[in-house]
Amino acid sequence: MRIRHLPETLINQIAAGEVIERPAAVIKELVENSLDAGATQIDIDIQDGGKSYMSVSDNGYGMSAEELVYCLDRHATSKLPDDDLLNIRHLGFRGEALPSIASVSRMLIKSKSRETGEAWSISAEGGKKGIPVPDNHPQGTKIEIRDLFFATPARLKFLKTDRSESTAIKDIVLRLAMAAPEVGLTLNLDGKKILNMPPSALAERLGRLLGRDFPENAMTIEALREDLQITGLASLPTYNKGNGLAQYLFVNGRAVRDRLLLGALKGAYSDVLARDRYPVVALFITLPAEDVDVNVHPAKAEVRFRDAVRIRGTLVSAIRHALQEQAGRSAGSTGTQTLVKLAASSPQPFAPHKEFIPTSASQLYSGMSALKIKELSESAQAFYQPLFTPTPSARSEPFPTIAVAEPSTTTHPLGAARAQLHENYIIAQTEDGIVLVDQHAAHERLVYERLKAQQQETGITAQGLLTPEIVELDDLRIGDLLQHTEILKEYGLDIEPFGPGAVAVSSVPALLGATINIRQLIHDLMDELEEHGTVQTLEERLLAVLSRRACHGSIRSGRAMTPEEMNHLLREMERTPLSGQCNHGRPTYIELSLKDIEKLFMRR
């Protein structure tokens, strides 16, 4: 067989395989082109999930007749004026999208160039280009795509239902709309206008796209480290989801799904959210173009940072800082939501918001023997005992519901305890409202913070193994793991190379206990290293143990408390960082202002 050059159309179809996997990818490329062309208004029209028809029209600077011919050529672009791949200032730069799309569909481009003032159109079918003809078109460009993948039937078969292709398009448009709030955008799906957004400020656009309650339940993130800037909104821990889909990240205006950044987010919230819950974020990272390589992924969805450690560190500390400063707000905003629900005369007042129930206590104990639970409970007793000094009789006697121990005026932020209801909810009176506390959730947080502080003081204890455990690993990844031995040692995990293809583990963190499956732990660490480049797993596991202890060592719901105990709990909460939510992201208390209550009773 002789070597030959492939025909141009085939080359473009091969490229289309990478760049254009589904209709949503076409929309992404076309809208990015419109943004690059300086458009202030972009209109998108879709039929049948994009399979039969898609169009994107803009009021950007347009193309001349000559440019219309060029734009369909492979690797023809106006966006790399200096041939410098390290200085990319546009969303596009490969000159691949239009020829790729044209090679697998029927395309029509109409455009009026700002420079020439003339309007022309050109069409292409399965990669065969027509010639430009004069046309009638207002300023800007409209690109229509019909019968996507008609020229590559094998590809067509991989498309999902219209509905799920439409969903993917909506998601892409959402991300593009967030990245460019100053641009007006409309989206028509099968003749129905499902999105109509005027140019707006970022916060307003985020509210429209992610729901008005998102900004209300989010912390403002603002971090500036030399030439690295991170801004945007990140949800309070109490506003969380069961998957990470609502984590919108942008690097220099480009929507990315970057493992490093997603891993950093997970780490930043690890202390206030259960493992399987995810915060909602819209974060914008801006840094010099030469510090980030966007040329690592055909659809440009991933990026590579020159100094990944710095980006990660800045993101984690910006969020943790915000959590310390602003997380107390979760109570207030949850209160407002409660109010909205009450006002809507929900048949079950105070029914907890579904979003706020990330995990159940039984889930926490699953897999633990009764003996273990008893052991944990006993050891934890010692921790929470000093938080209270209840008299033995007060503890055994059921306590009357109405409690008056603090003066009736109080300046404490969480007020004076007035009553305990259903043996779990403390009602406290503040200067201008009321506070409702979930005693178990609140106490759990206190005990957890206490355990953590204690661990910080004493350091993590390592437990030596009688005989080192040998774990076999593949050679390729072993080097990665050994690069982290120092930090692992700080956590009590001692690893040394043990001949080719194995490591010897001589100690483990005492907290994890002697029965821990070491082989599994090492493999999990390696997987994490591969995926996120960090060894968070270990810290998370240790915290999970503390969290389990805290949960078990906390005052259960169903236990009557004395006024002194209740007030003591409130004061401890005021002193404890992050006491607005339990370790799983549920709120520990909600606050209703008198104003809100008056509104509820229509006194205002």
Contacts with ligand ADP by CB under 6 A lie at: 29, 33-34, 37, 58, 60-63, 71, 77-79, 92-98, 141
Cβ proximity to ligand ADP, 107 vs 555, nearer residue:
107
Helix (H) or strand (E) holding 188: strand 184-189
Sign, Cα dihedral of 598, 600, 601, 604: positive
Cβ of residue 148: shortest distance to ligand ADP, in angstroms? 16
**Which listed option, Mg ion, ligand ADP, none, makes contact with residue 509 (CB within 5 to 8 Å by class)?**
none
Query: What is the closest distance, in whole angstroms, from the C-beta atom of residue 147 to ligand ADP in the complex?
Result: 19
CB of 74 to ligand ADP, least distance (A): 8
Answer with the entry of Mg ion, ligand ADP, none that 58 interacts with (C-beta below 5 to 8 A by kind): ligand ADP
Confirm or reject binding of residue 172 to Mg ion (CB under 5 A).
Answer: no
| Cα gap 218→20, rounded to integer Å | 35
The answer to whether 252 and 289 are in contact (CB under 8 A) is: yes
Q: Shortest gap between Cβ of 96 and ligand ADP (angstroms)?
A: 6
Q: Which amino acid is at 239?
A: Y
Return the number of the residue (92 or 132) whose C-beta is nearest Mg ion. 92
> Interface with Mg ion includes 518 (CB under 5 A)?
no
Q: Which does 141 bind (CB under 5 to 8 A by kind): Mg ion, ligand ADP, none?
A: ligand ADP
- Residue 289 to residue 411: CA distance in whole angstroms: 51
To Mg ion, the closest distance from the beta carbon of 30 in angstroms equals 8
Short-list 267, 217, 268, CA closest to 238: 217
Site map for Mg ion, 13-32, x if CB under 5 A? Answer: --------------------
CA distance 173 to 186: 9
Among ligand ADP, Mg ion, none, what binds residue 37 when CB lies within 5 to 8 Å by partner kind? ligand ADP
Distance CA 35, CA 20 (A): 19
- Please, what is the minimum distance in Å from the beta carbon of residue 471 to ligand ADP? 47
Q: Which of 352, 279, 276, 266 is nearest to 315 (CA)?
A: 266
Question: Least Å distance between CB 90 and Mg ion?
Answer: 8
CA 572, CA 407: separation in Å to the nearest integer?
18
Query: Which lies closer to Mg ion via its Cβ, residue 32 or residue 258?
Result: 32
Residue 91 or 414: which CB sits closer to Mg ion?
91
* Parallel, antiparallel or unpaired: strands 433-438 and 589-593: antiparallel
Where in 357-386 is the site for Mg ion (CB under 5 A)? none
Q: Which residue is nearest to Mg ion (CB)?
A: 92
Residue 320: how many other CB atoms lie within 10 Å? 18
Which x/- pattern over 83-112 shows residues binding Mg ion (rule: CB under 5 A)? Answer: ---------x----x---------------
Nearer residue to Mg ion within complex by CB, 14 or 309: 14
| Separation of alpha carbons 161 and 147, rounded Å | 15
| Residue nearest to ligand ADP as judged by C-beta position | 92
**What is the spatial distance between Cα 447 and Cα 470, in angstroms, rounded to a whole number?**
36
* CB nearer to Mg ion: pick between 33 and 270: 33
Cβ proximity to ligand ADP, 45 vs 58, nearer residue? 58
* Residue 62 contact among ligand ADP, Mg ion, none, beta carbon within 5 to 8 Å by kind: ligand ADP
Q: How far is the CB of 120 from ligand ADP (least distance, A)?
A: 12
Among 136, 107, 112, which residue's Cα sits nearest to residue 122? Answer: 107
SS3 519: helix
Residue 604: Cβ within 10 Å count: 10
Closest to ligand ADP by CB, 65 vs 234, is 65
95: partner contacted, choices ligand ADP, Mg ion, none (Cβ within 5-8 A by kind)? ligand ADP
Amino acid at 220: T
The single-letter code of the amino acid at 476 is L
Least CB distance to ligand ADP at residue 143 (A)? 7
Distance, in Å, from the CA atom of 525 to the CA atom of 544, rounded to the nearest integer, reads 16
Binding partner of residue 511 among Mg ion, ligand ADP, none, CB under 5 to 8 Å per kind?
A: none
Smallest distance, Å, CB 256 to ligand ADP? 17
Q: Name which of 92 and 132 has its Cβ closer to ligand ADP.
A: 92
CB nearer to ligand ADP: pick between 93 and 248: 93
Q: How far is the CB of 289 from ligand ADP (least distance, A)?
A: 15
17 three-state secondary structure: helix
Kindly tell me which of 91 and 264 has the beta carbon lying closer to Mg ion.
91
Q: Which residues pair with 278 in a beta bridge?
A: 241
Give every CB contact of residue 57 below 8 A, 6+ residues apart in sequence: 42, 43, 140, 141, 142, 143
Binding partner of residue 185 among Mg ion, ligand ADP, none, CB under 5 to 8 Å per kind? none
In the structure encoding, which two tokens stand for residue 300, read together? 């440009």
CB 312 within 8 A of CB 228: no
Position 33 contacts Mg ion (CB under 5 A): yes
Burial 114-153 (b: 16+ CB within 10 A, else e): eeeeebbbbbbbbbebeebeebebebbbbbbbbbbbbbbe
CB of 77 to ligand ADP, least distance (A): 3
> From the list Mg ion, ligand ADP, none, which binds 437 (C-beta under 5 to 8 Å, kind-based)?
none
The rounded distance, in Å, linking the Cα atoms of 54 and 24 is: 10
Name the token pair of 292: 């980030």
The partner residues of 106 in beta bridges, in order of sequence, read 125, 146
Question: Residue 95 or residue 492: which is nearer to ligand ADP going by CB?
Answer: 95
**β-strand 240-241 against 292-293: which pairing, if any?**
unpaired
> Which residue number, 62 or 585, has a Cβ lying nearer to Mg ion?
62
Which does residue 71 bind out of ligand ADP, Mg ion, none, counting CB within 5 to 8 angstroms by kind? Answer: ligand ADP
Give the footprint of Mg ion on this chain (CB under 5 A): 33, 92, 97
